[in-house]
Chains A and B, each alone.
Chain A
C-alpha cells in the first residue's frame, strides 16, 4: 500500500495539515473556518487553505490578512484557498464566512508565523528522456527552476526508473545540485541492465531544496509526470533479439530479450549451446539473463530465440577483456627518419577484427599522433613515428583501446640516446699493402648529429677472431671507411661490421654481411730450418730443409735456393722448386758452408746456413729412449764444448719409401727433450742421433732408440725341434726382425703340454690346462732350450711366444712325439708271455691229472643221450609215437612222426631242440584251423637208411616225403595277420643257436600261453639262424605255405648228439642251407667232424 506514490503524497499532505493546525493559533470560536495551513513553493508567495467545518452551504468567504501591522488586506473568494505573500515574520488572518444570502455567520482569526509555513517546491518537469539503444542508456534532462530561488541553495533530486507495463520500480537514484538563481538544465544518464528495446522504461523526478534560512517545514516536491521510452514490444511491428552485436567484458551479466510479433510465443532462448530460463517481460517480449559471461570465441557467442511457427531470431555477443596496459614500451631510431616503438601487449583481449585493440601513438610535445597498424597475432607490436625536425626529446603516450575499455603507457626518450643504427651494407675491402686493407660500408640513415662507433670483426683460419673498434662522425646516408693495419701477409681474412652510437651507446646494429679478402704476399720472414747428411760414401751431401709455417712464409713458397760456399766462393748453386724439401750436392771429400734461401713471389728469405763438417766421434753409445705421452723422451749429458746447441735427428720410414729425415734443434743449455711428431706411430722403433754443434762442425754424440708406445710383437719367433728323446725335446728358435718386435724384446715364453695335433682339445694357451708347463726365457742371447722330464712316445704341443713391454706375441705351435722307451717295451712283452706259458703249463698238469674225469664228463666212450641232460627228450612227446627213441642204435626204418598238437595238451617243453623236432606247432593267429589240419609229420632218418628215405610212401605228396622240419623258432614268431600271410615269404631259421634269451618281444610273450612261457624258461638250445637269410621262396619248399600248416618245416634237421646241422636231402635244393655253422662248445671235444 505504501508503495503507491499517490497514497504517500496524500498522507504527507494530511500530516502537513495537522501540523499547521497545531501551529496556527485559532482565534475565533470553534466551528467554522479551521485548519488553516499555508504552503509556499517559492518563498515569495504562499498558498493558504482552510476547511469549513459546517456542513451548511455557505456563500463567499472574506479573507483578510495583516502583514507587519500594515492595513489589512481583504478580499472575498468562493474558494477555500488564497495566495498571499509570505510574511517576514508573521501575519494575522481573519476569515469570515458568509451565507449564501450574504450574512456572516462565522469569523475566525488566525495568526500565522513563518515557521508555520511549509516549503514544498513545485514538482520538476522533465524536459526529455532520451534512450541510447546501443548502450542501453537513458538520458534524463530537466530544469532546476533555480531562478525562483535564491542563489546557492542545495537541491537534491530523486529520479525513479520504472519498467514494464506495470511500471515496476527498477531503481531510484539521487542527484544533487546547487541552485544558481538561474534555470539550469540538468542531465542524468542511467545505463540499463536490460536493453531498452526489451520493454518500456519510465522515469520521473522530484526534488528537495534545502533552504537553511527558512524556519518552516521543508518537504520533497511532488513527482514529476513520468516520461516513457517505449520498448519495441509496444511497436506494432517491433521484433528482434536485443542487444544486437554488443561487446561486454568477461564476467559481465547480460540480459537478452526476444521481442516478437503478437500471437507468437517464445519457445526457448539459448546462449551458445545452452538454453536459459525465460523471463516474461510482456506479452510480446521475453528475456534471459546470463550471469558471469565467459570469453567468447573469435566469432562471438550466438544467442538464438526460437519462437512458435518456426520463428527464429538471433544476435551475437562478444565477451572479452579490456586492453591490458602495454609492457616494455621502447622507442628507438635506426636512421633518424622513423622512430620505431615496440611494446608487449600483455593479456590478449579475445576480441578481433573491428573489435580488436587499437593502438595510437601520441607525441605530447608536438601534439602529433599516429594510428598504429598492428598484427594481433604477433606477440610484439611495432609502431612507427616520424622523426620531427629540431626535436630531440619525445614524450610518447601509447593509447590502447577496445570496445570494453582503454588504457595507455607513456615514455619519454632522448632520441640521440636511442640509436640502433641500420645494418651496415655494401661492405667492400680494398688493399693497400700486404699488411693493411681499407674497408668501406654504407649505412642507410641520417646520423649527421651523432658520432658512430663501428666494430670490425677480423677473423682468419690461422688466428683468433679480433674486434677492431673505429669511432667516426656520422653522416647522412653516407659511406664510412676504416683502415686496418698489422694484418698478416698472404692471409685470407673475413671481415664484417656493426655500428652503434658512440656517445650514448644503446644497441649494436646487426652485423653486416661477411666480406673475404686475402692480403698480398711478402718475402718469407726467415730462412728455413736446415740439416745436412753426408752420404755413406762421403762424396755427396744431402741438404734437408723444413717448410716454413704459413705465418713465416708470407706467401706461397715457390722454390729454395741452395748454395755451397767455401771461403766466400760459391762451389755450387741450386734452385730447388717446391715441393721438394731436400737436395744433394756433390762435394767429394770437401766441406763447405751451405746456405738455403726460401723464395716466394714477393721475395727471398734471409739465408739459413750450416756447415757440412762432421767431426769424428768415439765410442758412440746407443741408449734407449723412454716413451712419454705422444712423444719420446731423450736426455743427454751436458757437453760444455758444444757451443751452438744440439741437434736431434731421426728418420721416418713409411713402407718401401726411403726414410725422411727430421730433426730438432736445441740450445746448448738443454740436456733433455721430448721429441714429438705427428708421424710417430706406436710399435715403430725410431733411431735418434744426437749431434752436438761446435763452431767447427757437428759431432755425433750418441744414438738413441725408442718407441712412442711399445706393442706386443707381431708374431712369435720361428722355432724348430732339433732333437727328441724318450724324455726330452730340444727346441731352437730364430731371431725376430725388429719390425716384428714392435717394442724392446724382453724374452720368450715356451709353453708345453701333452697334446695331439688334430685333437679337439682347445689350444694350449686358451684353457687352464693343469699339465701346462711354462718356461720363461729372459736371456735374449739364448736361442735354444731343452725340455726335460717328458714321457716317452707321447705327443706334446709346444707354444713359443715373444714378449715386449707391450705384451705377448701370438704363439707359434709345434707338436712333437717323444721317442719310445725300448726297455719298457721289452718288459711289457715278456711278462704277458711268461704268464701265458705258466698258465698253459698249469692247465696241462691239471688236465693230465684229471683226464679221466674230463673224459667221463665231456667225452665218454659211448655217449648215452639219456645221461646227457642236454640231449634228453621229453618222454611225453615220444609217448604215443611208437616208443620212438632218439639215436636208437637199432637199424632204423624211416619213421614219420606225426605230431598232433592241441593247445590244451601242450607238452611241457624241456628241451628246445626237441620241440623243434617233435612239438613244433604253428598256431594260427585266429586259431580257426581244424585240428586235422593242424598236425606235423616229422620224419627222421639216420644217414644209414638213406635209401629208404628216397622211397617215400606213395600216399604222401612228394614234397612231404622228406623230413619236415619245424623250427622251434616259429613258435615264437610274431603271428602274422591272415591277410598278410600269403604275401610273406616263409623264412625259417637253420641250425641251432644257444639262445637263453629269446628274441621275442615282451609284448609277444604276453600273448603266449603259460605253457609257452614255461618252455621259454626251460629252453636250452634252439635252432638258430638268420631266418631272413633263408630265402624259401619256392612254393614246394618246406613250410612255404604256412597257412596250411601242413608240411611246414623250419630249420635244419640236426643230429641230437652232435648238435650239428644236418644237411638237407640232396634233392631238396631249394631248402634253406645253413649259412651259419656257428661254433659251439661241443666242437671243442668233437673228434669226428663228419658225425
Chain B
C-alpha cells in the first residue's frame, strides 16, 4: 500500500507543481499589466526607484540554489501571505481615495489579490503534500502600519507590485525545481532534504 502511495503522491506533487507554475505565470502576466495601469493612474514615473518597503518580502535570495524544496515553499508561502495583506490594504486605500472614479485599477487590483490568495492556498497544499503542513498564520492582527502620506502610499503600492512581479518569477523557478526533483528528494546543493513520505 505504501508502495502504491508513493507514485500517487509523486503524481499529485507533479500535478500541483504544474498547476502552480501556470498560476504563477498568469499572475506574473497580470501583475505586469497591473503595474502599467497603476503607474499610469497614480501619475507616477515608471522609472522611479522605490526603496525597499517595510513588510514587503524580497524575492531575491542570497543562496537561492542552496535552498531546500521545503524552504522554498515556506519562503513563497510567507511572501504571498504578506502580499495578500498588502494588496488588500492597497485595495482598501484605493477605494477610499478614488471611490467609484476608477473602474479599471480597482478591479485589476482585486483580481491580482484573488490570484495571490489562490496561489498561497496552492502553496499550502504543496506543503501539506510534503508532510510538513503549512505554518499557521500569525493569529494576532498585524500591527497597524504607520499612517503614510498619499505619496508614500503610492510608492509603497508600486513597490509591492514590483516585488510581487519578481516573486511570481521566482515562484515559477522554485516550482520548476520542485517538479524536477519530485517530492522527498534532496535538491542539488541543498543541505536539507525534502521529507520522504513515510511508508506505513
Residues of A with Cβ closer than 8 Å to B? 241, 244-245, 272, 297-304, 310, 312-316, 352-354, 356, 375-377
- In the complex, whether B149 has a CB less than 8 A from a CB of chain A is yes
- In the complex, whether B101 has a CB less than 8 A from a CB of chain A is yes
Distance in angstroms between the alpha carbons of A375 and B101 in the assembled complex: 10
17 contacts between A and B (CB under 8 A): A245-B149, A245-B150, A297-B41, A300-B43, A302-B43, A302-B151, A303-B151, A304-B151, A313-B151, A314-B154, A315-B149, A316-B150, A316-B151, A353-B98, A353-B99, A353-B101, A376-B101
Across the interface, which residues of B come within 8 angstroms of A376, CB to CB? 99-101
Q: Is the CB of B96 within 8 A of A299?
A: no
One of A300, A301, A303, A354 near B96 (C-beta < 8 A): A354
Distance in angstroms between the alpha carbons of A383 and B35 in the assembled complex: 38
- In the complex, whether B49 has a CB less than 8 A from a CB of chain A is yes
Across the interface, which residues of B come within 8 angstroms of A356, CB to CB? 99
For B77-109 the 0/1 string (1 means CB < 8 A from A) is 000000000000000000111111110000000
Given A314-B152, A352-B97, 18 more A-B residue pairs with CB atoms under 8 Å apart are: A244-B149, A245-B149, A245-B151, A297-B43, A298-B41, A299-B43, A299-B98, A302-B43, A314-B151, A315-B149, A316-B150, A316-B154, A352-B100, A353-B95, A353-B98, A354-B96, A375-B100, A376-B101
For B8-52 the 0/1 string (1 means CB < 8 A from A) is 000000000000000000000000000000000111110011000
Across the interface, which residues of A come within 8 angstroms of B101, CB to CB? 298, 352-353, 376-377
B167: min CB distance to chain A, Å = 24
- In the complex, whether B155 has a CB less than 8 A from a CB of chain A is yes
Q: Is the CB of B149 within 8 A of A299?
A: no
Across the interface, which residues of B come within 8 angstroms of A354, CB to CB? 96-97, 99
One of B42, B49, B97 near A353 (C-beta < 8 A): B97
Distance in angstroms between the alpha carbons of A313 and B51 in the assembled complex: 12
Across the interface, which residues of A come within 8 angstroms of B49, CB to CB? 310
Contacts A352-B97, A353-B95, A354-B96 given; does A298 touch B150 at CB 8 Å: no
B137: min CB distance to chain A, Å = 30
Across the interface, which residues of A come within 8 angstroms of B155, CB to CB? 314
A494: min CB distance to chain B, Å = 41
Distance in angstroms between the alpha carbons of A375 and B154 in the assembled complex: 25
Across the interface, which residues of A come within 8 angstroms of B100, CB to CB? 352, 375-377
B41: min CB distance to chain A, Å = 6
- Identify the 7 closest CB pairs spanning chains A and B, nearest first: A314-B151, A352-B101, A316-B150, A353-B99, A298-B101, A353-B97, A352-B99
One of B42, B45, B48, B95 near A299 (C-beta < 8 A): B42
Distance in angstroms between the alpha carbons of A354 and B41 in the assembled complex: 17
B53: min CB distance to chain A, Å = 14
For B125-169 the 0/1 string (1 means CB < 8 A from A) is 000000000000000000000000111101100000000000000
Q: Is the CB of B149 within 8 A of A298?
A: no
Q: Is the CB of A315 within 8 A of B150?
A: yes
Across the interface, which residues of A come within 8 angstroms of B96, CB to CB? 353-354
Distance in angstroms between the alpha carbons of A272 and B42 in the assembled complex: 11
Residue of A at shortest CB range from B49? A310
Across the interface, which residues of A come within 8 angstroms of B152, CB to CB? 314
A935: min CB distance to chain B, Å = 103
A989: min CB distance to chain B, Å = 94
Residue of B at shortest CB range from A318? B150
Distance in angstroms between the alpha carbons of A348 and B81 in the assembled complex: 40
Q: Is the CB of B98 within 8 A of A302?
A: no
Across the interface, which residues of B come within 8 angstroms of A314, CB to CB? 149, 151-152, 154-155
B109: min CB distance to chain A, Å = 13
Distance in angstroms between the alpha carbons of A310 and B149 in the assembled complex: 20
Q: Is the CB of A299 within 8 A of B99?
A: no
Residue of A at shortest CB range from B42? A299
For B189-200 the 0/1 string (1 means CB < 8 A from A) is 000000000000
Across the interface, which residues of A come within 8 angstroms of B150, CB to CB? 244-245, 300, 315-316
Contacts A245-B149, A310-B49, A315-B150 given; does A352 touch B43 at CB 8 Å: no
Residue of A at shortest CB range from B93? A353
A457: min CB distance to chain B, Å = 39
Residue of B at shortest CB range from A316? B150
A351: min CB distance to chain B, Å = 9
Distance in angstroms between the alpha carbons of A408 and B45 in the assembled complex: 40
Q: Is the CB of B149 within 8 A of A316?
A: yes
A855: min CB distance to chain B, Å = 123
Across the interface, which residues of A come within 8 angstroms of B41, CB to CB? 297-299
One of B45, B102, B154 near A298 (C-beta < 8 A): B102
Distance in angstroms between the alpha carbons of A1062 and B61 in the assembled complex: 123
Distance in angstroms between the alpha carbons of A353 and B101 in the assembled complex: 8
Across the interface, which residues of B come within 8 angstroms of A312, CB to CB? 48
B89: min CB distance to chain A, Å = 15
Distance in angstroms between the alpha carbons of A534 and B155 in the assembled complex: 106
CB under 8 Å from chain A, chain B span 49-63? 49
Q: Is the CB of B95 within 8 A of A302?
A: no
Distance in angstroms between the alpha carbons of A198 and B65 in the assembled complex: 50
Distance in angstroms between the alpha carbons of A1000 and B148 in the assembled complex: 113
Distance in angstroms between the alpha carbons of A903 and B95 in the assembled complex: 117
Residue of A at shortest CB range from B103? A377
A532: min CB distance to chain B, Å = 80
B200: min CB distance to chain A, Å = 58
Across the interface, which residues of B come within 8 angstroms of A352, CB to CB? 97-101
Distance in angstroms between the alpha carbons of A312 and B97 in the assembled complex: 23
Distance in angstroms between the alpha carbons of A377 and B95 in the assembled complex: 14
Across the interface, which residues of A come within 8 angstroms of B42, CB to CB? 299, 302
Distance in angstroms between the alpha carbons of A114 and B46 in the assembled complex: 78
Distance in angstroms between the alpha carbons of A303 and B155 in the assembled complex: 13
Q: Is the CB of B43 within 8 A of A301?
A: yes
Distance in angstroms between the alpha carbons of A272 and B97 in the assembled complex: 18
Distance in angstroms between the alpha carbons of A315 and B151 in the assembled complex: 5
Distance in angstroms between the alpha carbons of A300 and B150 in the assembled complex: 9
Across the interface, which residues of B come within 8 angstroms of A299, CB to CB? 41-43, 97-98, 102, 154
Across the interface, which residues of A come within 8 angstroms of B151, CB to CB? 241, 245, 302-304, 313-316
Q: Is the CB of A298 within 8 A of B98?
A: yes
Across the interface, which residues of B come within 8 angstroms of A244, CB to CB? 149-150
Distance in angstroms between the alpha carbons of A300 and B97 in the assembled complex: 10
Across the interface, which residues of B come within 8 angstroms of A353, CB to CB? 95-99, 101
Q: Is the CB of A272 within 8 A of B98?
A: no
Q: Is the CB of B102 within 8 A of A302?
A: no
A862: min CB distance to chain B, Å = 125
Residue of A at shortest CB range from B150? A316
Residue of B at shortest CB range from A377? B100
Q: Is the CB of A272 within 8 A of B99?
A: no
Across the interface, which residues of B come within 8 angstroms of A310, CB to CB? 49
Distance in angstroms between the alpha carbons of A356 and B45 in the assembled complex: 26
Residue of B at shortest CB range from A302? B43
Distance in angstroms between the alpha carbons of A314 and B149 in the assembled complex: 9
Distance in angstroms between the alpha carbons of A302 and B43 in the assembled complex: 7
Distance in angstroms between the alpha carbons of A245 and B148 in the assembled complex: 11
Q: Is the CB of A302 within 8 A of B97?
A: no
Distance in angstroms between the alpha carbons of A303 and B45 in the assembled complex: 11
Distance in angstroms between the alpha carbons of A354 and B96 in the assembled complex: 6
Residue of B at shortest CB range from A241? B151
Residue of B at shortest CB range from A310? B49
Distance in angstroms between the alpha carbons of A595 and B148 in the assembled complex: 102
Across the interface, which residues of B come within 8 angstroms of A298, CB to CB? 41, 98, 101-102
Across the interface, which residues of A come within 8 angstroms of B99, CB to CB? 352-354, 356, 376
Among A299, A352, A376, the most chain B Cβ lie within 10 Å of the Cβ of A299
Distance in angstroms between the alpha carbons of A304 and B151 in the assembled complex: 9
Distance in angstroms between the alpha carbons of A600 and B96 in the assembled complex: 73
Distance in angstroms between the alpha carbons of A377 and B103 in the assembled complex: 10
B116: min CB distance to chain A, Å = 23
Distance in angstroms between the alpha carbons of A245 and B97 in the assembled complex: 11
A245: min CB distance to chain B, Å = 5
Contacts A353-B97, A356-B99, A376-B99 given; does A302 touch B149 at CB 8 Å: no
B106: min CB distance to chain A, Å = 11
A357: min CB distance to chain B, Å = 10
Distance in angstroms between the alpha carbons of A30 and B78 in the assembled complex: 99
Residue of A at shortest CB range from B100? A377
